[in-house]
Amino acid sequence: MIDRPFIKVWRDGAVGHIELNRPEAFNALNRQMMSAIVGALQTFDEDAETAVVVISGAGRAFAAGADIDEMAGDDPVRLEMVDPFAVWDQIRLIRKPLLAAVHGFALGGGFELALSCDLIFAAENTQFGFPEVKLGVMPGAGGTVKLTKALGRHKALEWLWTGARMTAEEACAHGLVNRVVPADNLMEVAMKMARKLSEQAPLSLRLIKETVNQAADLALYEAMLIERKNFYLLFASEDQKEGMAAFREKRKPVFKGR
């Protein structure tokens, strides 16, 4: 894989890696870097050899948010016309499982990037937070909305109004991260999960992700209808035949993603 500006990109077997690589600025996300991340995600999503993608940060942080130097001079008309952050919306269209392995700081846009991933593993030393209020702005990439949905409005408002930092344990207690692990084991734990997922039927992973994302937004029965259609759809796949045959023949299935 070709490295792009401010990130390192490589593939290890079926696991694609994107490492945020601007350690001198705690991986603050400038616009070139945001486009690079989205571009790498799209490349992995289309790559037949990649089953799962892991995003992590180099140095002492996952990411300390969007680049404040770059944002400082923004004006609303230019923001509206150029819409420099729109590229970020493409992340929700990635169909493969995305794992975030976070450590150090996951602040503002860095927290939002982690929340855009499907599973989040956090090192014990991670500090999460939305400090935008201290800059006279507010989260702009889903932070306000996702925190409210996860914590309810009272708790969400307290975190968002104070800009206080949340420990990894607190984030886990709020259901925002999957697991808190010792910093030294972070990549090992993320890789173990990535490899486990890469052995599952790719179409099942994909349609489960699509259904869970719909379930988060839709009313119960509407979401259940989508679930049932996707369940039926999987019976058109070779992997459904293989998975069920393997069970009956008491052997390990070999999935092909078709």
**Residue 140 sits in the site that holds ligand DAK (CB under 6 A):** yes
Q: Please give the Cα distance from 69 to 28 (Å, whole number).
A: 10
88 lines the binding site for ligand DAK (CB under 6 A)? yes
Q: Tell me how many residues contact ligand DAK (CB under 6 A).
A: 21
CB 226 within 8 A of CB 214: yes
- The interface with ligand DAK within residues 188-247 (CB under 6 A) comprises none
Q: Which two tokens stand for residue 170?
A: 């607190």
Catalytic residue among 36, 110, 132, 142: 132
Q: What span, in angstroms and rounded, lies between the C-alpha atoms of 107 and 113? A: 9
Interaction between residue 57 and ligand DAK (CB under 6 A): no
Provide the 8-state DSSP code for 117.
Answer: S
State which residue, 127 or 198, has the beta carbon closest to ligand DAK. 127
Closest CA to 227 of 244, 243, 242, 209: 209
Instruction: Using alpha carbons only, give the angle 155, 172, 29 rounded to the nearest 5 degrees.
Output: 85
**Residue 169 a catalytic site member:** no
Query: In the stretch 16-45, what mask flags binding to ligand DAK with x, by CB under 6 A?
Result: ---------xx-x-----------------
Which active-site residues does the annotation give? 66, 109, 112, 132
Give me the residues that bind ligand DAK (CB under 6 A), please: 25-26, 28, 64-69, 85, 88, 105, 107-109, 112, 131-132, 135, 140-141
